[in-house]
């Protein structure tokens, strides 16, 4: 797809880490000319390979801005909107979908958004191996794969192990913001996060946050879910400490 050494790698971590259970499915779809151009031009400056080889210097990447990690960003429209609305926060957006990576870089370039960086690879490896403890001002997980079949629930990214890993990389007071349009997954998220000793629910009643909490814009997946009659749930939990 790209010349050697150019653009995001197909599998940056290779077999260096045990990844027996993945929370995502690699999606292969066509990269447009505009997306490919953005990846070729901008990846060297704004792209990060999740290879687990070194801890990231987030201050250097974002010029000292507080940094929020977004896990899974689709085609990047909502990410770009959040970056534009809050230029004082850096967004490290992690995904494995090449067209989405290219589209987000294109949007950031066209809109002059210097606070966006794209990470290519497994977000669990990124958190565990490459993000320093206590470094993040927030973590966002919007509309992850719900893995609706019972036998696949182990693949859901929101698990107790993930929650505590994310907490270890977040500063006290940082926000973990999740959203889903799959009602059983929303209940699962609420149960897992409520049970965590590292987080407190910001909702006074201990339930869901207001729709599109914290200024979250609508995402493409959200609009598709709403068109199907799904109920969208936001969850907003604060890191204790």
**Quick count: other Cβ atoms within 10 Å of Cβ 14?**
10
- Please report whether residue 149 resides in a domain: yes
Confidence band, pLDDT 50/70/90 cuts, at residue 101: very high
Residue 117 falls within a domain, yes or no?
A: yes
pLDDT in tens, 118-159: 999 999 999 999 999 999 999 999 999 998 899 989 999 999
What integer pLDDT is reported at residue 10 of this predicted model?
A: 81
In a domain, 61, yes or no: yes
Q: CB of 109 within 8 A of CB of 84?
A: no
Average pLDDT over residues 3-29: 69
- The angle, 0 to 180 degrees and rounded to 10, between the axes of the packed helices 98-110 and 33-46 is 80
Mean pLDDT, rounded, for 32-41:
96
Q: How many domains does the chain have?
A: 1
Which residue range is the domain that position 215 belongs to? Answer: 33-239
Q: Is 187 part of any domain? A: yes
Q: What is the pLDDT of residues 44-84, one digit of tens each?
A: 999 999 999 999 999 999 999 999 999 999 999 999 999 99
Residue 109 among the catalytic residues: no
**Cα separation, 217 vs 77, whole angstroms:** 9
- Active-site option among 95, 145, 181, 205: 145
Q: Is the pLDDT of residue 16 over 90?
A: no
CATH assignment at residue 224: 3.40.50.150
10 occurs within a structural domain: no
173-183 pLDDT, tens digit per residue, is 999 999 999 99
Among the listed residues 3, 92, 106, 81, the one whose alpha carbon sits nearest the alpha carbon of residue 48: 92
Does any domain span residue 137?
A: yes
């Amino acid at each position: 797809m790209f010349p050697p050494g150019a653009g995001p790698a197909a599998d940056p971590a290779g077999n260096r880490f045990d990844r027996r259970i993945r929370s995502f499915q690699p999606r292969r779809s066509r990269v447009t000319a505009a997306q490919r151009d953005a990846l070729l031009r901008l990846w060297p400056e704004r792209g990060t390979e999740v290879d687990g080889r070194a801890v990231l210097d987030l201050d250097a990447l974002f010029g000292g801005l507080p940094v929020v990690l977004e896990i899974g960003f689709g085609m990047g429209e909502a990410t770009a909107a959040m970056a534009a609305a809050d230029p004082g926060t850096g967004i490290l957006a992690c995904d494995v979908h090449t067209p989405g990576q290219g589209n987000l870089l294109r949007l950031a370039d066209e809109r002059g958004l210097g606070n966006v960086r794209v990470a290519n690879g497994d977000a669990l490896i990124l958190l565990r191996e490459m993000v320093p403890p206590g470094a993040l001002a927030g973590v966002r997980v919007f509309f992850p794969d719900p893995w609706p079949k019972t036998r696949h629930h182990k693949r859901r990214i929101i698990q107790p192990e993930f929650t505590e890993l994310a907490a270890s990389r977040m500063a006290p007071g940082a926000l973990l913001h999740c959203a889903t349009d799959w009602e059983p997954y929303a209940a699962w998220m609420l149960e897992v996060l409520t049970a965590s000793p590292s987080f407190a629910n910001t909702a006074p009643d201990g339930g869901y946050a207001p729709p599109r909490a914290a200024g979250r814009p609508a995402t493409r997946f959200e609009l598709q879910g709403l068109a199907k009659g799904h109920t969208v749930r936001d969850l907003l939990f604060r890191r204790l400490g």
